Structure formats: structure tokens, C-alpha cells
A and B are shown apart, each in its own frame.
Chain A
Amino acid sequence: MAAPARAWLVFGFSPEEAAGEPGPGLAPRRLEAGPEGILRVWPAWSYVVVETGAGLEVRSAGLRRRLPGWAEALPSETHLVLRGPAEARAWRREAAVTGALQDEPAWSRALPPEPRQPLPLLPGGFATPRPPFFTALPAGLRARRLALGTEHALALGAAGEVFTWGGGRHGQLGHGTLESEPQPRLVEALAGVPMWAVAAGGWHSASISEAGDLYMWGWNESGQLALPSKALVEERAQDDVCTGNAKLVPRQEQSAAKDTPFISIQAFPALLDLPQDLEEVESSTPGAGVNMDSWDMGTSPALTRHVGSSTWWPRGCGQRRWCAGPGPPTSVCWSREALEPPSHGCCQEEDEGELCSTRPAPRPVRTWIEAAGPRRGSCLAQTPRAAPEILGC
């Protein structure tokens, strides 16, 4: 089965830098795929597990090890969970990155041979990449997707309902309070709107409805909800001073920024108003600024061509960023560090337009959801101006 021609673009922090080696730099670069290509990616902070045509492989600075016989991965900086056809196991990170899977695992669980949902879901519950590794879910909750944040979790039910539980200090549960929930609780504000996908960042959450609307809630301290963030405005002002760059900031956006109420916690899901028709933009070089309508570009990864569309799919969340895509071709990423350095992210382009997905920031906890589409993918990254901007792939 010939893999379609694909390339993965990576930007920001790299496993090499995590080891203290000089990294490949902050600009987008292609992830070396080899002849088998890269099909899926599960990043942690200092290492990444990739699925090539030949199976799973763990990559850290200067080291690549195959993980034969495993189908899916759930990595963290303390452990790596792997799922195979008959069981799931977890090893400590040190053993995992050297591929020493013959060592005694920290945890294992036999799995029945039945069609299954993707990790972190497991029959009867879900896996976490740290103790206790397996947590049961109530029998009545038939989850088809599950997303893990730093302190919370989201489950997408069979009928498109969203359940959240865990820590709620930053409003990430979406119940309108800052209280924690010990058990899965329905997000009432979204009841009646069937959801298609869910994703979780460090302390924020997102879901996309079947109609293509994007909802976000939780912590917005660095603008990860694409809502006005005071910290980003401050960062931008400081950066204007430090770098001396003259940013092309349109008048209306400046005055709007002064009156905008800043949101640091969004405890109820908020429907995001995203641009539906994205115009073509010219390609540009990293660091250049291009003004496009009311958007402003900073020193961030390259611009490239893209074609707009009208449906949005979640691509996943970093700890402090969020990534979604409008339909097949375009992905939208909100990055905390779009100026310097940009968050680690990755998008995949598909010449034949089969697949577009992005790998979000390699934080300890993140989810990544793949969606198929017929056209070339690209990324939009949010600058500290809380407006999407085009990156690209």
C-alpha cells in the first residue's frame, strides 16, 4: 500500500533542545520521514513517538528506536503507554526512549480483541501516561473519544454529548464554576448541540459541533482560547519596545484592544467567531510581516498558500495552545509564543489532499485528533494580538 506523499512540518522547541543540544532552530522544518513516511505523531516534551509505515518508533535527541508490535502510544515525561492488539503497557520514560521494552513494565493490562476507540480510551475506561495508568469510566458512559488535560478530562459520548471531570480551578470543565468534579458530568451548556470532536490542553478545553462550530473554555492566561488576553497585549507591548519592530497594527484593532474586556478564565463554553472565508495570501519568509485585513503578523513561521473552507475540525491542544482546522485544508493554531519562540507545532501537508492534521505543542499532556480532507493543509497561528495568522504547511 503506497503511502501518499506527505510531509510533516515541525516548528519551535525540539527534542534536541530538550537534551540541551543546539536545535534545528525555530523556523518550520520538515520532519525526516524516511521511505515509509510518517502516518501519526504522538509528541511528549523531550521525545516523540511516530508511526511510520513500518510501525511505531520513538525519537529523542540523537536516538531512534523501533517499537515493534505496538499500534498506539500515549507519552508523558514520566512514562510511555503503548497499546497493542492484545494488551496495553506502560514503561518509565528512561526505558521507553532507549527502546528497552523488554524491561518489566510499570503497568500492563490485557485487552479484549474487539473494535476499540483510540487512546486514551480503553475498554471499560481510559489510560493515563502516569500512575494509576488506568481509570474506569461509568458503565453507562459510552465514550467514543477522550481527551486528557493536566488536571481534567473530556469525554465525547455516543450522541455527541460532552462530559468533563477532574480539576476545575481554571474553568476548564465548562460548568460555569471553578469547582472540581470527581465524576464525569455533562456539560449542560452544550446539551442539544451534538459535538463531533473534543480536545484538551493543559487547562483548557475545546469541542467542535457536527455543524462545524468551535467552542472553547478554560484558562486564557496566554490567549489559548483566542479570546482577548491581557498578558498577550502586555507581551506584545514589551516586544514592540525590545525589538523595535514596527508592527503593522490597524487602527481599529488598536482602539478595540483598549476597550476589550480581557478574559482570563472562561468557565462556560464560548462559541468562537472564526473567519469563514480565508483569502489566499502570498508566501513569505519567516520573520516578515504581512498585513492582511485586520490581522497582523509577527516574527513567526512562514506564510504560505492556503485555501479556505467552512468547516472546522479540532486538531488538538498544547498545554497553552489550541489547534483546530477549518475543514480539510486549513488548520488554525493559537500559539502563546507566536513571537519568540513559537510553540512547538507541526502540520502535515498532503499533495493529494488526503489528510490534514497537526501535531500540537509537545507538552506533557495534549491530544491530537486527525481529520480527513481533500485539500492541502495549512496552519493559522495566533499572534499576541488574539487574531489568527497564517503559518503554513
Chain B
Amino acid sequence: MAAAGGAEGADGGSALWAEVRALLPRAEEGLTLALSGEVEGCVLPLLRRARALLYSPPGPPGAAAAAALARFSDVLRDYSWEKLNAVPWREVGKGWRQVYAYGCLFGALAEVAAGRPQAAVRLCDLGLLLGAAVLDNVLARLVRALQPRLPRGTAPRDRPRPPRGSLPGVEGERPFQRVRPERPPPPPAVQPEEAIPHLHCPSLEHFRDNYLIPERPVVLEGVMNHWPCMKKWSVDYFRQVAGCRTVPVELGARYTDEEWSQQLMTVNDFISQYIMDENSVGYLAQHQLFDQIPELKEDISIPDYCCLGEGEEDDITINAWFGPGGTISPLHQDPQQNFLAQVLGRKYIRLYSPQDSENLYPHESQILHNTSQVDVEDPDLVKFPNFTKAAFQSCILMPGQILFIPVKYWHYVRSLELSFSVSFWWS
């Protein structure tokens, strides 16, 4: 991070600082730096020194103190980042994730002191994405305090990019009416014998006895009717609510490709580059957006049918899937039950039973063992001859519909146009 530059007018700076400072414990002893796991002792002096900078002297930190705080942030994040990458994610110690979150907190506060609230929001998002909650989820509270101070709508980005071939007049357009440079391929036909059954608001018992227990897919209709997202969500709405927030985006046609990668960018950038302008494929996929941006969580509900599971409601993983037409999730299986709720746009989905797993040629590597090697819509039948033996069901999932994907059921998903889905993984 660069050293503290000139802040905005002193009045605005002090008022914002006071508001931000009020999010922290009043006294230094209140900021306990407690960690839920073991970390190496070498980072503790840095945490303590950074904390000391915040509490004395009172008032917004001057340029030197802000620079020192930024430096502590860099060092803490740099060191803990290596710990976050040293083992598979599920094994990462919570203590190290909290150190990372503290690093982001100190860095964000330094950016606020330097008059750069957008950079502060970005650091908060990094802490929310990679860190673990500290100080009563202070990073989320900090973002909420900063967001009103940021420009609305098409926020200026941190990194100016050369203007690409953006389509004219896209501001405020509804997604379905967006002009597309070329016609997309027509949606695949769904033959009657392979169609997934559709049901309107089945009772809990009926769903449990006919679909959950026998592990059979079904499309539920009418369940989402009163979810606020059906009326509120549009590309412009996301720009307003979440435009300045940093999210992970998948780049590349599918995650089995060599060129596939993930990148962090703001929602504004994602919309500008990959939704409005379709030079290459970007997909905001498998991201717990609703933990990061609680405002959006109020627009959705958890399907009642999830109560038929044994797990707690808090254990349900809710993911956002937001992207242009043409995003593909290769055929794969997940270890939990899934409700895939379609809010915007349509998706072509194909399902294969786990009993057909052998005919689907899963990858042998450990990382991709839950993914098939076969490209569902263009299978190489020379390499994968038994693929034709596998029976499947399919549907075109429309807005307002929820697809029940039983546990371990193989599924392939392709968006037919701009699409926003919400998935609920439950047990």
C-alpha cells in the first residue's frame, strides 16, 4: 500500500474517522486480539504494535502513523497469506485466518485515514473472503459504514482499464433486452422422456416421500414467488447494492480447462467486463455472496424443504452464481443435497444418476475426482464410448423455478443468457 496521501477536507476526514473508530472497542484492552487457534509467536508483536497505533494518540492517525499502520497490515497479510496457502483450505487454522482479518482491518483503517474509502472497502472484502470474523465481524460493520461514502452506480474503479467494446446504452437496460453481437446457439431440445418432472408447491411430506428419500430430481414451482429477489434483482440493482465490493470471479470457459483461473475484482468491473461485454467468459460462481453482503440475503429465503434434512439451518451453504450466457459447469457431483433456485435468465441442466458414475469417466486425480471427463454437449465417444449408456434427465430451468439435485447426482449446467442462480447445499 502506498503511504498516506492527502486526505479529503479535514472535516470530512475527521467525521468519517470518528464513525469508523466507534466500531472498535473504546479502550485498547477491549481489542483483545484473541485468536481461535494457534499461530506462530512472531506475528503477535506486530498485532500489538498495530493496535497501539490505533489507540494513542486519540483522533485520526497522522500521515506517519497511517503509513506505519499500512506497513503492519502489509506484513501481517503477507505472512498469514502464506499460511492460508500452505495447506488445503479446509485445514487452514482459524487463528491464521483471523490474523489475516486483523491485517485487513489495520490496512482498511489506514486507507480510511488516508482518505481512500474504496481501497478500504477492498481490503475489508479480502478479509471477509479469506479471513475469519474478528471483533464481532468488524470488517462487515466497517464496510457498511464506508459504503455510503462511495460513489454510487458505476463507481470509479481502483484500476482504470482501457475502454473495451462496451455496448452502447446499456445503463438501466433489463438483461433480456441487451443487444448481443451474435445469436447464441438455440437451447437444446428437452425430449419428453428425459424431462425432469415439475411440481407446484408440493407438501413437505410429498416431497420427502417421492423425491428426497428415493433421491429423484424434481423442479419445484411457485416456491420462490414471494422472494423479494424476483422483483428487485437486475444488473443495475447489483451495481447499486454491491458495485464496489470485491468478489472472486472465474475466468475461462470451464474449470477443467488449463487456462481457467480465478481473479478478484469489484462487482462493477465484473459487470462491465463480463456481463455487458462478452469478449471472454467470466463467471461469479460458487461464492457465498450473501455472507459477504447481508443486504442481498434479505432478498432470498431458505426453502422450507431444507428442514427435512438433519443439519442445522446455519450449516446450509448458500452460493451465488452470476454470469453471462455461455457459462458452463462441467458434469460433476456434490456431497450434499442441492436446491438450485433460478432468479434471472435460463439455464440448460442435465442430470445423471450416481448409479451411472462408471459410464461418466470421472477424473482420476484427487482434485477433480468429482468431475467427469466428458463434455456433455460434445462428448468424445471414441475416448468415452460408454457415455451413451448413461441415462439422463434434463430441463431448461426458468426464473422462479427451483431444481432439486439429490446428493451425489451428476449435473451439467450451461447458462443460455445472463443468469443469476442461488444454490442451497444442505444435508
Contact = CB atoms under 8 A, between A and B. Distances in A.
Contact of A177 (B50, B85, B88, B365): B365
Using C-beta atoms within 8 Å of the partner chain, give the interface range for chain A: 35 or more
B26 interface: no
A47 B71 CA distance: 19
A341 B41 contact: no
Contacts of A340: 1-2
A268 interface: no
A13 B161 CA distance: 32
B158 interface: yes
B184 interface: no
A202 B82 CA distance: 8
Given A179-B366, A241-B158, A77 B261 contact: no
B2 A45 contact: no
B158 A13 contact: no
A151 interface: yes
Contacts of B57: none
B75 interface: yes
B367 interface: yes
Contacts of A283: none
Contact of B86 (A93, A151, A230): A151
Given A179-B365, A234-B159, A341-B74, A319 B82 contact: yes
Interface string A15-42: 0011110100000000000000000000
Contact of B41 (A13, A93, A178): A93
B49 A203 contact: no
B41 A94 contact: yes
A230 B74 CA distance: 20
Contacts, number: 65
B91 to A, nearest CB: 12
Given A17-B75, A341-B74, A241 B160 contact: yes
A164 interface: no
From B50, B71, B72, residue with most partner A Cβ within 10 Å: B71
B48 A20 contact: yes
A238 B85 contact: no
A77 B42 contact: yes
A237 B159 contact: yes
B263 A230 contact: yes
A78 interface: yes
A46 B49 contact: no
A178 B1 CA distance: 33
Contact of A178 (B40, B161, B365): B365
A-B pairs, 6 with minimum CB distance:
A20-B49, A46-B42, A20-B45, A77-B40, A242-B2, A238-B159
Interface of A: 13, 17-20, 22, 45-46, 77-78, 93-94, 150-151, 169, 177-179, 202-203, 230, 234, 237-239, 241-243, 261-262, 264, 319-320, 340-341, 363-364
Given A19-B45, A20-B50, A241-B158, 10 more contacts: A18-B75, A77-B41, A78-B40, A150-B86, A177-B365, A178-B367, A202-B82, A202-B85, A239-B2, A243-B2
